[in-house]
Protein backbone atom coordinates (compact mmCIF):
# COMPACT_ATOMS: atom_id res chain seq x y z
CA UNK A 1 0.00 0.00 0.00
CA UNK A 2 2.77 2.40 1.01
CA UNK A 3 4.60 1.61 -2.20
CA UNK A 4 1.45 2.29 -4.22
CA UNK A 5 0.92 5.66 -2.51
CA UNK A 6 4.55 6.64 -3.19
CA UNK A 7 4.12 5.63 -6.83
CA UNK A 8 0.87 7.63 -7.15
CA UNK A 9 2.56 10.72 -5.68
CA UNK A 10 5.48 10.35 -8.10
CA UNK A 11 3.14 10.01 -11.10
CA UNK A 12 1.19 13.09 -9.98
CA UNK A 13 4.36 15.14 -9.56
CA UNK A 14 5.65 14.01 -12.97
CA UNK A 15 2.34 14.89 -14.64
CA UNK A 16 2.40 18.37 -13.11
CA UNK A 17 5.99 18.90 -14.13
CA UNK A 18 5.33 17.88 -17.73
CA UNK A 19 2.09 19.85 -18.05
CA UNK A 20 3.81 23.17 -17.31
CA UNK A 21 2.12 26.56 -17.44
CA UNK A 22 0.34 26.72 -20.81
CA UNK A 23 -0.03 29.80 -22.99
CA UNK A 24 -3.76 30.40 -23.42
CA UNK A 25 -4.61 32.93 -26.13
CA UNK A 26 -6.41 35.15 -26.79
CA UNK A 27 -8.90 35.16 -23.91
CA UNK A 28 -6.34 35.85 -21.16
CA UNK A 29 -5.88 39.55 -21.92
CA UNK A 30 -8.15 40.72 -19.09
CA UNK A 31 -8.46 39.88 -15.42
CA UNK A 32 -11.95 38.48 -16.03
CA UNK A 33 -10.57 36.18 -18.74
CA UNK A 34 -7.58 35.01 -16.70
CA UNK A 35 -6.48 31.47 -17.52
CA UNK A 36 -5.51 28.90 -16.52
CA UNK A 37 -6.19 28.42 -12.82
CA UNK A 38 -3.09 27.34 -10.92
CA UNK A 39 -4.03 25.48 -7.76
CA UNK A 40 -1.90 22.78 -6.14
CA UNK A 41 -1.16 21.54 -2.63
CA UNK A 42 1.63 23.76 -1.27
CA UNK A 43 4.54 23.85 -1.67
CA UNK A 44 4.55 23.74 -5.45
CA UNK A 45 6.37 25.29 -8.40
CA UNK A 46 5.80 25.25 -12.12
CA UNK A 47 7.34 26.68 -15.24
CA UNK A 48 6.17 27.54 -18.75
CA UNK A 49 7.36 29.22 -21.92
CA UNK A 50 4.89 31.87 -23.06
CA UNK A 51 4.85 34.41 -25.87
CA UNK A 52 4.13 38.12 -25.63
CA UNK A 53 2.97 39.70 -28.86
CA UNK A 54 2.47 43.47 -29.36
CA UNK A 55 -0.29 44.80 -27.04
CA UNK A 56 -0.58 41.35 -25.42
CA UNK A 57 -1.03 40.73 -21.69
CA UNK A 58 -1.12 37.35 -19.96
CA UNK A 59 -3.39 37.04 -16.92
CA UNK A 60 -3.03 33.91 -14.78
CA UNK A 61 -5.27 32.97 -11.86
CA UNK A 62 -3.50 31.55 -8.78
CA UNK A 63 -4.91 30.17 -5.52
CA UNK A 64 -3.07 31.24 -2.37
CA UNK A 65 -3.72 30.10 1.18
CA UNK A 66 -3.24 32.47 4.12
CA UNK A 67 0.49 32.81 4.78
CA UNK A 68 1.58 31.44 1.40
CA UNK A 69 4.61 33.08 -0.18
CA UNK A 70 4.28 33.62 -3.93
CA UNK A 71 7.45 33.96 -5.99
CA UNK A 72 7.33 34.83 -9.70
CA UNK A 73 10.14 35.25 -12.22
CA UNK A 74 9.95 36.13 -15.91
CA UNK A 75 13.02 35.33 -17.99
CA UNK A 76 13.15 37.09 -21.39
CA UNK A 77 14.46 34.28 -23.60
CA UNK A 78 16.31 36.52 -26.05
CA UNK A 79 19.43 37.20 -23.95
CA UNK A 80 17.59 38.51 -20.82
CA UNK A 81 16.35 41.61 -22.64
CA UNK A 82 13.63 40.69 -25.09
CA UNK A 83 10.73 40.79 -24.44
CA UNK A 84 10.89 43.53 -21.78
CA UNK A 85 8.30 42.29 -19.26
CA UNK A 86 6.38 43.98 -16.45
CA UNK A 87 4.48 41.89 -13.88
CA UNK A 88 1.87 42.72 -11.25
CA UNK A 89 -0.35 40.89 -8.78
CA UNK A 90 -4.03 41.79 -8.22
CA UNK A 91 -6.66 40.54 -5.76
CA UNK A 92 -9.52 40.69 -8.27
CA UNK A 93 -11.34 43.70 -6.80
CA UNK A 94 -8.76 46.42 -6.06
CA UNK A 95 -7.57 48.15 -9.28
CA UNK A 96 -4.22 48.89 -7.60
CA UNK A 97 -1.57 46.17 -7.65
CA UNK A 98 -0.64 44.29 -4.46
CA UNK A 99 2.91 44.13 -5.85
CA UNK A 100 4.59 44.82 -9.17
CA UNK A 101 8.03 44.76 -10.81
CA UNK A 102 9.56 45.81 -14.11
CA UNK A 103 13.29 45.03 -14.27
CA UNK A 104 15.25 42.83 -11.86
CA UNK A 105 18.77 41.50 -11.56
CA UNK A 106 20.25 43.63 -14.36
CA UNK A 107 17.84 42.23 -16.95
CA UNK A 108 14.56 43.46 -18.40
CA UNK A 109 12.80 40.45 -16.87
CA UNK A 110 10.78 40.80 -13.67
CA UNK A 111 10.76 39.30 -10.19
CA UNK A 112 8.01 39.44 -7.59
CA UNK A 113 7.66 37.98 -4.09
CA UNK A 114 4.58 38.48 -1.98
CA UNK A 115 2.87 36.91 1.05
CA UNK A 116 -0.85 36.30 1.09
CA UNK A 117 -2.67 37.19 4.32
CA UNK A 118 -6.08 35.90 3.22
CA UNK A 119 -6.91 32.76 1.23
CA UNK A 120 -8.35 33.32 -2.22
CA UNK A 121 -7.82 33.68 -5.95
CA UNK A 122 -5.17 36.12 -7.03
CA UNK A 123 -4.34 37.36 -10.52
CA UNK A 124 -0.88 37.58 -11.98
CA UNK A 125 -0.55 39.93 -14.97
CA UNK A 126 2.41 39.93 -17.38
CA UNK A 127 2.71 42.52 -20.13
CA UNK A 128 5.28 44.38 -22.23
CA UNK A 129 6.93 47.57 -20.95
CA UNK A 130 5.21 50.79 -22.10
CA UNK A 131 6.03 53.60 -19.69
CA UNK A 132 4.57 54.47 -16.31
CA UNK A 133 1.42 53.47 -14.44
CA UNK A 134 2.66 49.94 -13.80
CA UNK A 135 0.85 49.67 -10.43
CA UNK A 136 -2.69 49.92 -11.91
CA UNK A 137 -4.91 47.39 -13.67
CA UNK A 138 -5.36 49.76 -16.64
CA UNK A 139 -1.66 49.25 -17.52
CA UNK A 140 -2.35 45.53 -18.12
CA UNK A 141 -5.89 45.49 -19.50
CA UNK A 142 -5.81 47.12 -22.92
CA UNK A 143 -2.01 47.47 -22.89
CA UNK A 144 -0.33 49.14 -25.89
CA UNK A 145 3.26 47.93 -26.22
CA UNK A 146 5.68 46.74 -28.95
CA UNK A 147 7.21 43.75 -27.09
CA UNK A 148 7.29 40.51 -29.09
CA UNK A 149 9.03 37.32 -28.00
CA UNK A 150 9.22 34.30 -25.73
CA UNK A 151 9.64 34.49 -21.99
CA UNK A 152 10.05 31.77 -19.40
CA UNK A 153 7.64 32.03 -16.49
CA UNK A 154 8.49 30.45 -13.12
CA UNK A 155 5.86 30.42 -10.37
CA UNK A 156 6.44 29.03 -6.88
CA UNK A 157 4.19 28.92 -3.82
CA UNK A 158 5.54 27.95 -0.40
CA UNK A 159 3.67 27.85 2.91
CA UNK A 160 4.75 29.24 6.26
CA UNK A 161 5.05 26.39 8.79
CA UNK A 162 2.02 26.72 11.08
CA UNK A 163 2.58 26.63 14.85
CA UNK A 164 -0.10 23.90 15.00
CA UNK A 165 1.75 21.61 12.57
CA UNK A 166 5.05 22.32 14.35
CA UNK A 167 3.34 21.31 17.61
CA UNK A 168 2.11 18.06 16.04
CA UNK A 169 5.60 17.39 14.69
CA UNK A 170 7.10 18.14 18.10
CA UNK A 171 4.61 15.83 19.82
CA UNK A 172 5.42 13.08 17.30
CA UNK A 173 9.16 13.44 17.89
CA UNK A 174 8.63 13.44 21.68
CA UNK A 175 6.48 10.30 21.38
CA UNK A 176 9.18 8.57 19.33
CA UNK A 177 11.84 9.51 21.86
CA UNK A 178 9.61 8.22 24.66
CA UNK A 179 9.09 4.97 22.79
CA UNK A 180 12.83 4.57 22.32
CA UNK A 181 13.55 5.24 25.96
CA UNK A 182 10.97 2.69 27.05
CA UNK A 183 12.42 0.09 24.70
CA UNK A 184 16.00 0.88 25.63
Does 23 interact with Ca ion (rule: CB under 5 A)? no
Give 58 or 68: the residue with its C-beta nearer to Ca ion. Answer: 58
Q: How far is the CB of 26 from Ca ion (least distance, A)?
A: 6
**Which own/partner pairs from 141-147 qualify as long-range (CB within 8 Å, at least 24 positions apart)?**
141/29, 141/30, 141/31, 141/57, 143/55, 143/56, 143/57, 144/55, 145/54, 145/55, 146/54, 147/52, 147/54, 147/56, 147/82, 147/83, 147/84, 147/85
* Diameter over CA atoms, the chain: 72
Under rule CB under 5 A, how many of the chain's residues touch Ca ion?
10
Q: Could you give the CA distance from residue 134 to residue 71 in angstroms, rounded to a whole number? A: 18
- Residue from 34, 68, 75, 84 touching Ca ion (CB under 5 A): that is 84
| Residue 143 found at the interface with Ca ion (CB under 5 A) | no
Query: Alpha-carbon distance 101 to 107, whole Å?
Result: 12
Neighbours of 135 (CB within 10 A): 13
Q: Give the binding range for Ca ion (CB under 5 A) out of 36-44, 60-68, 125-133, 147-155.
A: 125-133
Binding map of Ca ion across residues 24-43, x = CB under 5 A, - = no contact: ----xx--------------
Stretch that binds Ca ion, among 10-18, 78-86, 88-96, 135-143 (CB under 5 A): 78-86
Q: Is 102 in the site for Ca ion (CB under 5 A)?
A: yes
Contacts of 48 (CB under 8 A, 6+ apart): 20, 21, 22, 23, 152, 153
**127 contributes a contact to Ca ion by CB under 5 A:** no
Stretches 4-12, 90-98, 106-114, 162-170: which one binds Ca ion (CB under 5 A)? 106-114
Q: Would you count residue 148 as binding Ca ion (CB under 5 A)?
A: no
Among 58, 68, 82, 147, binds Ca ion (CB under 5 A): 58
Kindly state whether residue 82 participates in binding Ca ion, applying the rule CB under 5 A. Answer: no
Three-class secondary structure of residue 6 per DSSP: helix
Q: Which positions lie near Ca ion, rule CB under 5 A?
A: 28-29, 56, 58, 84-85, 102-103, 108, 129
Amino acid sequence: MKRFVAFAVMVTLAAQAVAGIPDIEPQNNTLAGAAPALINPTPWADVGVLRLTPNDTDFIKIWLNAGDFLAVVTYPMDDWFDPDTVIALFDGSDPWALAWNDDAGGSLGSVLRWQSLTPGWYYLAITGYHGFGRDHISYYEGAVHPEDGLYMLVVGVSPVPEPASLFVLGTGVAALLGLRRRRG
